[in-house]
Structure 1
């Protein structure tokens, strides 16, 4: 296969390089020299980025961090594009250019500016170095690997093609298993190992299934052992309800299934409680009767209302009418006595009053005078109205004062208006009258007319009516007081309950008439309580005897009451249809149903055990077959990999021997294939790893020998490169000379790019290659970049 070498490299705005063109010109060896710090490693980084799509030595310890700038932009300035172009050429002068580019217009979010994020670079493959970069020639990393004819180039690159300056011994410092993993691709056993892992996974799944089935079988056998079947199978029993045509509960259903012992026990417990209820039903009836008595005795409001309205239920409407009539007459009397209320006096009120008092009232004359007064009041000026109102108020106060004097034994000489002390009451009244006369002079003609008509209206009409009202109120029977009516009215709100209670008392032959209030007057609280107590004593006599112990009374009543309501739905007639024989048969029937459940369950468990046992045997057989296949796979893979390692081992022994001259433990090193890993040893008599006793220079030589071995045997693709970054830093002179000889003689078909900071080493290498007619070139990086 024709291999490609590097012809030239173009760098722009990458790290410290503003712009540079580096010409390799397909030489056999290119030595990058010059002082440290001027870009030798930068060139290796650009080549690795173009070929693999990343730079392996760049690390990001904290992936959670964000960065404000892009690591690879020159001076952190992202105003210009980053551009790297590498032209590859083969012996037939076929050329191809691979490009990594970060355009200026491409926006890179802060979250994607991590040092290890190389996906920000676009990839292009050009047919000509000067070809315009465009969307048409844009590719991806897979296309680069396809061109060179290898997969996973980013991993193989550091194993076959590139020895880094600071990580030359990285591979040796890895664990034995990691070393083995690094070269697993050499064995080409990826598919076989995947199949082996699949087989192991299947075995693991099958073993878990076998374990689960074994546990299940143990549980089933334990469950079967716990099934307690009767010694002799009970004869078949037919379903028969306790009461024909009724279903009293779950246990009384025709299609009942007794699922387990707990269900059976609960059903039988209910039936035994039912039997207890049937046998003690008479006591329950008495207890239930007593409960109703107690509920009545506790309803104090009902008993009080019964005392108050018990004898007035039928006459309440009549009492209410009479009470409101009396109240209306009182109100009308007040209206007639109060001059200020005359204006609102209605004709209908006077007509109704005629009927009540059974007198004749000259209503037309009264209306005529009221009209005249109203007319004059509208004409009268303000001063006259004030004077008239003042005299009227004084007159009413005087009347009340006279009434007050009549009630008192001592003569009162103090003015009721201003509090002035007079010689005697006659002098006081005389002065009040004089004051009235004095104000009367301030009246105008309208005021005098109003005063005259008012005196006529009151003296000739209203005063006689008031006298008749007083006679009526003194003689009317019954005279209903407000407190009595309000007491009666409040208790009437509980009328329906009182009616039912009176009917109940009648059925129980309680003499209620002798206890309730018969009078049409207010009943005091003390009297009510006395009568309530008397009524309660009569009710208590109705209680019946119950042969239950006091400490179990409430518990037993609640239990029996629940049975009465839940099973019989409060229908007492059903209870008489049950006897103990019916209950005993139902218990036997439930036990028989439970036995049938046990037989059925045993059969199901036996069937389950049989199926699980068959499944267990089948899985065990499959596991045995799978284990045999696993062992065959493991043996074949190990034998094949051992053969591959043996192939590497011979060349590695030669290369390591040539590089490790004057090595005290032998001519070279061997590769030892350990369980799951690789080890480098001096000979077959020791199993100590070389990493533990070689010097740093020897370790570097060992790594180079191993890389050269892999490159020589397995680098069978189009990439004809071998890159070594400054091996002089870690190798002594003898190892270095051996390395140059080995490179010149064994790797003529490769393009070797090697860096060093020592001029004499640079000249020495080029001299050795030129002596054999190999093309060489020196690049002073300080001058080139």
Structure 2
């Protein structure tokens, strides 16, 4: 397949690019790739060599290595740059990084030594410490209360407030004298409840309903009168039953008479006759009514006589038996020792607890109970009121107030030993006893006393700050050098001198130079190896290059003549039928197309596009003819070869194809002009006869589309 556009593009390239493209045409691509790899390897080795050479140039100085005796600069600390062996097997870059790190640290220490003052640093620390103390309210309170924060005093305070915080102790103090009377008080309570039950039954008027209970009570109070009382009660019961029966009968008679009387007056015919409705006797109307009233009165009197008898008997029982018994029982009940149930339960509970309240007597010394108050007459609320009075009295007698006791309790769990050591050491003019509360219960110490003492201590500490003023420039240590290298110790700081640090810096530098020289020697050895490799690779490159150039030149020499002949046949109107020469340089495989063997000007620079198209076709046909690319498949396909040719060149080109290639090749030409197609067919038919065909590809395409649509 000959693509005139691509072939023309090949010819228009520079000589160097043509040379590269020939590798494909002459099948030297594999060898040229190997040559390219060799060239790239040489380039990389050259780059490495130059880089190493520059490094060596920068590392090599006129300064020679001097051996420096090792000594330890910072005693007691394991510092990295203070080791005897400073550098290991790291590369040069890491070596430089480590060396810079060490020298930077040494320079920082030198600068620090020149500007730092341990004395000023100590002043600053003391001042900071004082300011910290001033911020610690607990520390100020601790100093003020230190006399109270000891085992004995705390034990005393705890005991006092244990009594105050636990009401059981106070109640035990109040109720102690009743602990051995619990059994007696319980019995009295039982007896009182029994008497109250007796009173309830005796005061009940229905004696006949409580006969057994009244008999039981009488046996307890008047056993000698029990028999007569029972007789009276039985008689009363009998009368009450009779009264009940008679009363019911008489009441029924009265009701019936009233009904008859009412009906009588409602019946005029009976009333007019004057007949008694009860017995049938004739009466005057007024007389009948009078007799009715008199009879009703007699029946009522009969009912009242029986009831009065029962009432009289009941009064006799009450006066002779019930009232005397009630009087005796109430008198006995009043003589009992009574106590509130909750108070009694409290006495039993505290008595069983067996609390030790010996110290309570000391705390309550001078306390007097109100003479008008009987403890046994109090309920639980009254007992609590008494407890609160006792607690208030005890609290007024304690060493410290409750709120101050709370402060002491909290401080008892912390320690300020280090802070107190500092104050005693650096503020030796301060006597902490001057700022401490003394143990004295008269008067009782309170929070006001504490605040007064701490305020004085605070003022004294504030005044002490003046003596610790310092120079800020002399205490700058942003990187903690004083702590890390000298353990905040002024003696260790003074031990290390600037000269010693400078000597350590020289030791580090010499160690670095010694290690660097060893690294440079190794680099030079590697450079020698690289140089040897470059020489060998150069030899390989020359051999490959010479062989490829020689081969290409040989190939070009073989196509020179057919190329010259084909260009001469086609370009009839150029140089009077002379062809184009192929030329190669002696030491190169670049191709030039020249019109005159005596000059080296490339013809591509002054030929027309049609002439360049002819040369490209001639060049491709010459290669095909010379190297017989395929023996079994001889197809020659040329895409629109005559589009840029004039008529004479078209004729010459067709003649060339007809006589040089048509007998051995199946030729396929394409064109977009009908005339060119018909002319080419005509020329080939004169030689081949009917073996030439013209195919309209566009018509075939349209037909295939129509068939697919159907």
Shorter-chain TM-score bucket reads 0.5 to 0.7
209, 227, 239: which one pairs with 2:48? 209
Verify: 1:671 aligned to 2:582, yes or no: yes
674, 677, 682: which one pairs with 2:595? 682
Deviations 1:34-75 (A, max 9, x none): xxxxxxxxxxxxxxxxxxxxxxxxxxxxxxxxxxxxxxxxxx
- Please give the alpha-carbon distance, in whole angstroms, between the structure 2 residues aligned to 1:553 and 1:569: 17
TM-score (norm 1): 0.49
Relative to total residues, which structure has the larger helix share, 1 or 2? 2
Aligned to 2:664: 749
Query: How does 1:382-781 map onto structure 2 within 5 Å?
Result: 461=339, 464-465=374-375, 478-480=393-395, 484-497=401-414, 510-511=432-433, 515-516=437-438, 518-519=440-441, 526-535=448-457, 550-552=469-471, 583=495, 601-613=512-524, 615-616=526-527, 619-620=530-531, 623=534, 626-627=537-538, 630-631=541-542, 633-664=544-575, 667-673=578-584, 678-684=591-597, 685=599, 687-690=601-604, 692-694=606-608, 696=610, 698-717=611-630, 718-727=632-641, 729-747=643-661, 748-755=663-670, 765=680, 768-769=683-684, 771-772=686-687, 776-781=691-696
Secondary structure (helix, strand or coil) at the match of 1:723 reads strand
Gaps in structure 2 of 5+ consecutive residues: 88-98, 198-329, 341-372, 705-710
Gaps in structure 1 of 5+ consecutive residues: 1-157, 330-348, 376-451
Secondary structure (helix, strand or coil) at the match of 2:667 reads strand
Deviations 1:690-749 (A, max 9, x none): 4753253x4443333233222211224222112234545444433333233222321222
- Please give the alpha-carbon distance, in whole angstroms, between the structure 2 residues aligned to 1:208 and 1:499: 71
Q: Please say which structure displays the higher CA radius of gyration.
A: 2
Verify: 1:324 aligned to 2:165, yes or no: yes
Q: What is the CA distance between 1:638 and its match in structure 2?
A: 3.3
Relative to total residues, which structure has the larger strand share, 1 or 2? 1
Aligned to 2:234: none
Check conservation: 2:164, 2:391, Cα contact below 8 A: no
- Please give the alpha-carbon distance, in whole angstroms, between the structure 2 residues aligned to 1:252 and 1:701: 81
Secondary structure (helix, strand or coil) at the match of 1:662 reads coil
Check conservation: 1:665, 1:682, Cα contact below 8 A: no
Verify: 1:249 aligned to 2:171, yes or no: no
- How big is the alpha-carbon RMSD for the aligned residues of Structure 1 and Structure 2? 5.8
Aligned to 2:155: 314
Check conservation: 2:571, 2:649, Cα contact below 8 A: yes
Q: What is the CA distance between 1:494 and its match in structure 2?
A: 1.6
Aligned to 1:301: 138
Q: What is the CA distance between 1:289 and its match in structure 2?
A: 8.0
Aligned to 1:364: 186
Q: What is the CA distance between 1:317 and its match in structure 2?
A: 2.0
Deviations 1:732-771 (A, max 9, x none): 4333332332223212222223356777766665565555
Distance 1:605 1:755, change over 3 A: closer
Distance 1:479 1:358, change over 3 A: farther
Secondary structure (helix, strand or coil) at the match of 1:754 reads strand
Check conservation: 2:72, 2:83, Cα contact below 8 A: no
Check conservation: 1:168, 1:703, Cα contact below 8 A: yes
Number of equivalenced pairs: 498
Q: What is the CA distance between 1:645 and its match in structure 2?
A: 2.1
Check conservation: 1:213, 1:612, Cα contact below 8 A: yes
Secondary structure (helix, strand or coil) at the match of 1:313 reads helix
TM-score (norm 2): 0.53
Aligned to 1:51: none
- Please give the alpha-carbon distance, in whole angstroms, between the structure 2 residues aligned to 1:512 and 1:752: 129
Distance 1:763 1:276, change over 3 A: closer
Distance 1:628 1:540, change over 3 A: closer
35, 43, 53: which one pairs with 1:196? 35
Deviations 1:610-632 (A, max 9, x none): 45445545544654565465456
Q: What is the CA distance between 1:211 and its match in structure 2?
A: 0.6
Secondary structure (helix, strand or coil) at the match of 2:395 reads coil
Deviations 1:246-303 (A, max 9, x none): x622379996446767389469859979x986xx79x96x998887776555433343
- Please give the alpha-carbon distance, in whole angstroms, between the structure 2 residues aligned to 1:493 and 1:370: 53
Distance 1:478 1:707, change over 3 A: same
Check conservation: 1:653, 1:668, Cα contact below 8 A: yes
- Please give the alpha-carbon distance, in whole angstroms, between the structure 2 residues aligned to 1:629 and 1:475: 118
Q: What is the CA distance between 1:651 and its match in structure 2?
A: 1.1
Distance 1:774 1:251, change over 3 A: same
- Please give the alpha-carbon distance, in whole angstroms, between the structure 2 residues aligned to 1:579 and 1:301: 36
- Please give the alpha-carbon distance, in whole angstroms, between the structure 2 residues aligned to 1:513 and 1:363: 57
Check conservation: 2:571, 2:577, Cα contact below 8 A: no
Check conservation: 2:86, 2:511, Cα contact below 8 A: no
Secondary structure (helix, strand or coil) at the match of 1:749 reads coil
Verify: 1:355 aligned to 2:164, yes or no: no
Distance 1:363 1:290, change over 3 A: farther
Q: What is the CA distance between 1:321 and its match in structure 2?
A: 2.9
- Please give the alpha-carbon distance, in whole angstroms, between the structure 1 residues aligned to 2:671 and 2:567: 22
- Please give the alpha-carbon distance, in whole angstroms, between the structure 2 residues aligned to 1:764 and 1:518: 143
- Please give the alpha-carbon distance, in whole angstroms, between the structure 1 residues aligned to 2:164 and 2:17: 114
